[in-house]
Amino acid sequence: MPAHAVPPALRRAVDAVWDPTPVSMRRIALAGVISSAGIILSGAAVRLSKSGLGCPDWPQCTRGSLVAAHTPGDPMFHTWIEFGNRMVTVAVTVVAVAVLIAAWRFRPGGRRRTDLVWLAAVQPAGIVAQIVLGGIVVLTNLNPALVSLHFVVSVAVVAAAVALHVRCTEGTAPARSLVRPDLRLLACGVVAVTAVMLAAGTVVTGTGPLAGAGAVPRYHLPLTGVTQFHSDIGWLLGGLAVPLVVGLRLTRAPARAMRLGWVLLALLGLQGVVGYTQYFTGLPAGLVWVHVTGSLLIWIAALRLMFAVRDRGPLVQPPPEGPGGPAATARPEAQPAPAR
């Protein structure tokens, strides 16, 4: 294709990936965060609409069709939801490959950052793992343990995408704490408990009525018990987040950390309201999807807050002062002529 025939927007996108600047690298990394989160929400829609077997075969949708085709005994809209989720995976794969290429080509200060390359590589690697896991999930008739693992892997990919988005704007110096040690430890604790809460949420879904239609296997656990356990983890998370934010406020932590702290508290409060509402209204699928979305936002906010309480220096170190530095190459001031 002649160069003049390439749309300008596509040319700019290719240039941003192949020759990334700090600004374009950050935008590409953000696209990775959004797409990694988007595939989780798409997968949740499949699960909560009981469409997991809308395409009962893999890698084809059905044994006789690669694309969406009617499956006997299952409504066609289930097929379209499941097939649509598979198509979303294609778009997410394109973004993941672009993120990896951009991270490989990124040269802040003239050097490749291997830490960014490894973080970026998690996204395409995670997609490959998810494709394999997704196929096994379908072929095992939505085994709940594999469905939970499918979700947990996706959450780990989101964590790597968030880390990449943060790290591509900072240097490689050892992490320097911006807050008291106990507050930084609390921030890490919030992330750990959030991860446990997300894993427990998959058990609740795999136990309840939204695990799937028909004879889909479920966890053989009491729904009330696992729901209470999930709620207790939420209360523990709030019990860590509140003193963390109060401590950040009293010690005058950096403004970015404070903003993320308030965002986290607001999301936790809203999540609690949604969680109890869905429980007492019989777990309507739409409200559960909102709950999953809230959990994902809490995960991202907790990760960002953990990164915001430490610093690794600027992306590009300033040139040293002294011999060989800018001061040495500056033009000397004119000296007055000696008196005769």
- What is the DSSP secondary-structure string of 157-180? HHHHHHHHHHHTTS--SPPEESS-
Give the whole-number percent of the chain exceeding pLDDT 70. 80
d(CA 143, CA 211): 9
- The domain ranges of the chain are 7-172, 175-313
Q: What is the mean pLDDT of residues 142-148?
A: 85
Query: Which own/partner pairs from 275-283 qualify as long-range (CB within 8 Å, at least 24 positions apart)?
Result: 275/231, 275/234, 279/227, 283/208, 283/209, 283/210
Distance CA 340, CA 181 (A): 66
22 compared with 84, residue with greater pLDDT: 22
Q: Which pLDDT score, from 0 to 100, does residue 308 have? A: 96
Is the preceding peptide bond at 323 cis, omega within 30 degrees of 0? no
Asked if 40 contacts 117 with a C-beta cutoff of 8 angstroms, the reply is: no
Q: Per residue in 149-188, pLDDT tens?
A: 988 999 999 999 999 999 999 998 899 999 999 999 999 9
**Model pLDDT, residue 8:** 79
pLDDT at 236: 95
Residues 6 or more apart whose Cβ sits within 8 Å of residue 215: 141
pLDDT digits (tens, 9 = 90+) for 309-323: 999 988 877 666 655
The span from the first CA to the last CA of the chain, in angstroms, equals 76
Q: How far is CA 305 from the centre of its chain?
A: 14
pLDDT value of position 280: 86
Q: Tell the burial category of 211 from Cβ atoms under 10 Å away from its Cβ (0-12, 13-18, 19+).
A: buried
Residue 230 CB neighbour total at 10 angstroms: 21
- The mean pLDDT value of the chain amounts to 84
Burial of 44 (0-12, 13-18, 19+ CB in 10 A): buried
For the stretch 85-131, pLDDT in tens is 778 888 899 999 999 999 999 998 888 999 999 999 999 999 999 88
For residues 108 and 22, what is the distance between their CA atoms, to the nearest angstrom?
Answer: 7
DSSP 8-state secondary structure symbol assigned to residue 332: P
pLDDT reading at 328 higher than 70: no
In the predicted structure, residue 241 carries a pLDDT above the cut 70: yes
Q: Are 90 and 39 in contact (CB under 8 A)?
A: no
Q: What is the pLDDT of residues 36-76, one digit of tens each?
A: 999 888 888 877 776 666 666 666 666 666 555 566 656 66
- pLDDT in the model for residue 180: 94
Please list the residues that pair with 65 across neighbouring strands: 62
Question: How is residue 116 written in tokens?
Answer: 């960014």
Q: Which of 6-15, 32-41, 185-194, 227-236 shows the lowest per-residue confidence on average (mean pLDDT)?
A: 6-15
Q: Which two tokens stand for residue 228?
A: 């209470």
